[in-house]
Structure 1
Amino acid sequence: MRIGKNVMAALLAGALIGTVSGCSSGGSEDDAPGTATEKPTDVTLKSKITPPPAFASEKGWEVRADWMPEGQPFPYALSAKGDIIAHLDKTTQGYVLKVREAVSGRLLSTSKPWKAPEPTEEQTEDPDGLLTVPRVSQITGGEREYFAVWAYGRKSKDQLHSAKEVVSAAFYPVDASGDIGPSGTADVEASAEDSATDVNVFPGARGLVVIPGFEDAVLVSPDGKVSQGISKVKLGGKPSDLDLNLAFPGPDGLVTNGKLEKGGSDSGGFGIDGGWHSTQVTPPGADAVLKGEFASTGPWETPNGRIHSATGNHLIAGWYTTSDKPVSAVHDLATGKLRATAPCANIGTPYDLRTPKQPDQYETPAGLSPNGDYLVKGGSVFDLKTGKGHCVGEGKDAKKITLISVGDDGTAYGLTDQSGTEGNMPVSVSAKTGAAKPLPVATTTPDAVAKGAGVFITYASHYTRLIVLNVRN
């Protein structure tokens, strides 16, 4: 399977609900860094794209990032309600987080410049394959929501100390206004003996989980506090190691997969540390525990279910069923409660992506509508109000469809796989029925859907644009 260059860029951006920027000379389109005052024309919509019919091509705003290197995904994130967009800018003093109203583009806050760690030699030598600058992630928090800006690289305490590989993070309250400083900052050492691609970072309700190689995982809270040694959890009443590829800080504890048992099944169960377990939330047609027997080792059993992805307060898990047909299910992250199922398998995707490796364009993570009623993941679309999910791009001679985003009206957007000279076809899919419709070839599909607007990322040879178009009335 091959994906065209332009579509690959779109998928790279879609794979990041907080992503990456690049380095270059050049300044901001706005006023001086660190100020929330800007000219009315600074984000005026200048670009012309062809969006799906639900969006007004003539009404919206845009940010042109000519400081970004070609091929790097644009760094932005949406608030939990989808009504606020945060994006990074690059100034001579450092990276600046700008927070805007989604529909109007009005600037709500601007962070003080933040110094990211310097790229490692590995990152510098492979700019096309590795991420080199900060990313933005949404942290739902408790009473307050945050945006996290974080990056992998090399940093020294001062000029008298040697540089070490670290993950640096800074947190900013979503509801802050004007010129703002971080609520907390932290540097987590990532062992230089580990490959950079072994460093995982997962955002969630309580902050960032950082897993440097095979060392103990740490939790970085929005106040900058670092909690060490969280690589052990208790799932279903039994001790377990943290899943190094999927472990996110839920509101009441770490949520992760259990050990793969000796039966060889790609299962092992999942749950929250010291709380609910997958054996308590099995979907219809699935056994809570899988059992079998090997001639050489005898009988075995293992809990069913395995997390594939997550978004917002939802998990997407795969289950083995009694009919041997795969099932994907959406679960509430806090309680494990079953929200919806679809009769198809799903490709596993980390909640966030390994750093500093660029995301795999074939593995876009889940997307959630601003109102929380609909969810997409890969070739599946879920209606969380009815509990029904649909599989798209299946059947004889059907082109595979990768869904990227979904709106409050239940319309999901994505692309077909490239097939020969036909290229990728933009499509829309109904979350209520699962019916897919081709869109005109020139259509640009939204990277995400905000409350009242669509977010489009476009790439040119010398600059990247964040274009936000209003939903048509």
Structure 2
Amino acid sequence: MRQKIVRLTLVGGVVLLALLLLLATCGGGPDDGDGGGKNGAATGTPKPVPPSAGPSTRLTVPPQYRTDRGWEIIGSSPDIAVSHATGLLAYLERADGSRYRLRTVDTATGEPGWRGQVWRPLDPAHYPKLATVAKGDRQFFVTWSYGKAGDGLSPASTFISLDLYDVTNGNRQRVEVPWSGAPDVRTTGPDIVISDAKANSTLVDPVTGEVSELGADRLKYPEGCPACKQLTEVHGQTAEGLLLGGAREFWVRGGWFSREVAPRGTDQGSGVVTTMTADQVLAKWAPAKKTGRAATHELWAVHDAATGEVLASVECHRPAIKPGRYPQAVLSPSGDYLIAGNLAFDLEAKKGRCFEDEGGAARLTLATVTDDGIAYGAENARDASEALSGGGLPVSMDFATWSTERLSRNARLPGTETTGVGVFRWTDRQDRTHLIGYPRTG
């Protein structure tokens, strides 16, 4: 009798185990990919914590932030995107070896927001690119990948696949654009601009998904500007039209021309676009040829993208060697402050500052700027990316005094700030990316 009971128990255990395995297998569909449900704490899922606990990872950060509060995400994508209007942060998580999902988190609370469905990008071995684009009063998170697709019967064609998510509710539309060669994608808006890093471009309307091509023969070059037709490049789009530049001088298609808005005391035919945001263009100019500083200095000016008006400017020494890539402009959420490399501009006060030593060497690279008028960066870092990954000597810069202060040598810098929360990135020994939100003190 005892043996029979044992056998029945074993049989019951096997049945129970089979049922558990069946439930585990059927508990989520192929588009679930969560490993823990919408509010679970699996890899890639935000983990809000009680106010008294704080994130499990405590980094050394600038004194403006407190590490005993906040939230943490483990296993996010290298790229993130932020909607300052809603306070949502978007990131990608890897659902399996070749599929990904877009997730959002409320930066103020750490609570999960809406999430997208799992999909397989054209280049499944790498995370798709991720950014924010705005048109009118609507904002979108946009992801894109580039690669080939074919049915095995005909030669595969290359194209760009873009997914556009409405920031407010996560509604998605997909747009596919045939493209040959490495694409250059700009999301400063209002449309998404895809170019060949030269004069040809395709525009994607994020609201309607409409695609329109614009070749070099339709760029409307300004009259009397032979340099505009040399090394012509699409830099992005303003509210008035495409921003284009040549070897020297730049213009907005159907709008303003750099020669007409050149800063006072500069050579009107010397303007070169270096970077832009949704509403500003940062350009460098040569001082007028008859001035004593023409051989040693350049003037950097922030222009209003809609009108070309100079909003602020500053002089810097000419670099001994021209940079291979100009630093990208970073704007504070309010739009009051703009930084780019060793340049800083207070757009409200219409002032700028070039951080360089007496010999003209640029020792400081600024990477992040907040609405409180504090910028973060590092000395002796090659670029903003290196500063944010822990390279160089961390510093903060206060726009109120234009003074810099060295931080703790191992301090991590916020990659962005919104809703009063700084977002920090850290990679652990398992090569997993951690996103950590620390609130600002006070």
Determine if the TM-score, normalized by the shorter chain, exceeds 0.5: yes
Q: Which residue of 1 aligns with 2:287?
A: 321
Matches of 1:235 and 1:215, distance apart in 2: 11
State the TM-score, normalized to the length of structure 2: 0.77
Query: Which of the residues 185, 193, 215 maps onto 2:174?
Result: 185
- Deviation per CA, 1:177-202, whole angstroms, max 9, x where unpaired? xxx341x32222232xx4x4xx3111
The question of 1:384 aligning with 2:347 is answered yes
For residue 284 of structure 1, report the CA deviation from its aligned partner: 2.5
Q: For residues 346-385 of structure 1, what are the structure 2 equivalents within 5 Å?
A: 364-385=327-348
Q: Are residues 1:441 and 2:409 paired?
A: yes
Distance (Å, rounded) in 2 between the aligned partners of 1:321 and 1:82: 43
The answer on 1:94 being equivalent to 2:79 is no
What is the aligned partner in structure 2 of residue 455 from structure 1? 423
Q: Say yes or no: does 1:336 pair with 2:346.
A: no
Are the counterparts in 2 of residues 82 and 450 from structure 1 also a CA contact under 8 Å? no
In the TM superposition, what are the counterparts of 1:105-124 in structure 2 within 5 Å? 105-118=110-123
Partner residue in 1 for 2:251: 271
Alignment of 1:146-295 (within 5 A): 146-156=140-150, 158-176=151-169, 180-182=170-172, 184-191=173-180, 194=181, 196=182, 199-212=183-196, 216-222=200-206, 223-231=208-216, 232-236=218-222, 246-257=234-245, 259-260=246-247, 268-288=248-268
Whether 1:425 and 2:380 are equivalent positions in the alignment is: no
CA deviations 1:194-230 (Å, max 9, x no partner) are 4x4xx31111223321124768321122132211234
**Cα shift at 1:329:** 0.9
Alignment CA distance shift 1:389-1:213 (3 Å): closer
| 1:345-374 alpha-carbon deviations (Å, 9 max, x no partner) | 699xxxxxxxxxxxx997542211111111
Q: Which moved more, 1:211-220 or 1:164-173?
A: 211-220
Asked whether the equivalents of residues 208 and 219 of structure 1 are also in contact (C-alpha less than 8 Å), the reply is: yes
Identify if the C-alpha distance between structure 1 residues 169 and 48 changes in structure 2 by more than 3 Å, giving closer, same or farther: same
Letter in 1 for 2:176: D
Cα distance change, pair 314–215 in 1 and its aligned pair in 2 (3 A):
closer
Distance change (3 Å), C-alpha of 1:63 and 1:169: same
Unaligned runs of 5+ in 1: 1-25, 69-73, 125-131, 261-267, 289-302, 348-359
CA RMSD of aligned residues (A): 3.1
Name the aligned partner's letter for residue 298 of structure 2. Answer: P
For structure 2, the 5+ residue unaligned runs are 1-31, 50-54, 383-390
Q: How many angstroms does 1:402 deviate by?
A: 0.7
Task: Tell me the CA shift for residue 159 of structure 1.
Answer: 5.0
Question: Matched residues, percent identical?
Answer: 27
Contact 1:346 1:380 in 2 (8 A): no
Q: Distance in 2 between matches of 1:456 and 1:215?
A: 37
Indicate how the Cα distance of structure 1 residues 249 and 215 shifts in structure 2: closer, same or farther if over 3 A, else same: closer
* Bigger CA radius of gyration: 2
Q: Do 1:346 and 1:379's aligned partners in 2 also have CA atoms closer than 8 Å?
A: no
| CA drift at 1:414 | 0.4
Per-residue deviation, 1:249: 2.3
User: SS where residue 57 of structure 1 aligns?
Assistant: coil
- Say if 2:234 and 2:242, in contact at 8 Å, map to a contact too: no
Deviations for 1:368-407, whole angstroms, at most 9, x for unmatched residues? 1111111110001110111101111422597711100011
Q: Does residue 75 of structure 1 match 2:79?
A: yes
- In structure 1, distance between residues paired with 2:422 and 2:237: 28
SS at match of 1:327: strand
Q: Conserved in 2, the CA contact under 8 Å of 1:236 and 1:275?
A: no
For the Cα contact (< 8 Å) 1:148–1:171, is it kept in 2? Answer: yes
Give, in whole Å, the separation in 2 of the partners of 1:333 and 1:80: 20
For the pair 1:133 / 2:127, whether they are aligned, the reply is yes
- Cα offset, 1:107, TM superposition: 2.5
Q: In the alignment, is the contact (CA less than 8 A) between 1:318 and 1:327 conserved in 2?
A: yes
Write the distance in 2 (CA, Å) between the matches of 1:209 and 1:450: 26
1:470 alignment partner, one of 417, 439, 442: 439
Higher relative CO (Cα under 8 Å, sequence separation at least 6) belongs to 1
Range that drifts further, 39-48 or 320-329: 39-48
1:320 Cα deviation from its structure 2 partner: 1.0
Change (3 A) 1:214 1:445: closer
- Distance change (3 Å), C-alpha of 1:245 and 1:465: farther
Which amino acid in structure 2 is aligned with residue 224 of structure 1?
A: G
Secondary structure (helix, strand or coil) at the match of 2:259 reads helix
In the TM superposition, 1:303-322 aligns within 5 A as 303-322=269-288
SS of 1:31's equivalent in the other structure is coil
Instruction: Please identify, of 238-247 and 360-369, the stretch whose mean Cα deviation from structure 2 is larger.
Output: 238-247
**1:59: how far off?**
1.5
Aligned twin of 2:37: 31
Which amino acid in 1 is paired with 2:177?
Answer: V
In structure 1, what residue type is equivalent to 2:274? H
Q: What TM-score do the two structures reach when normalised by structure 1? A: 0.73
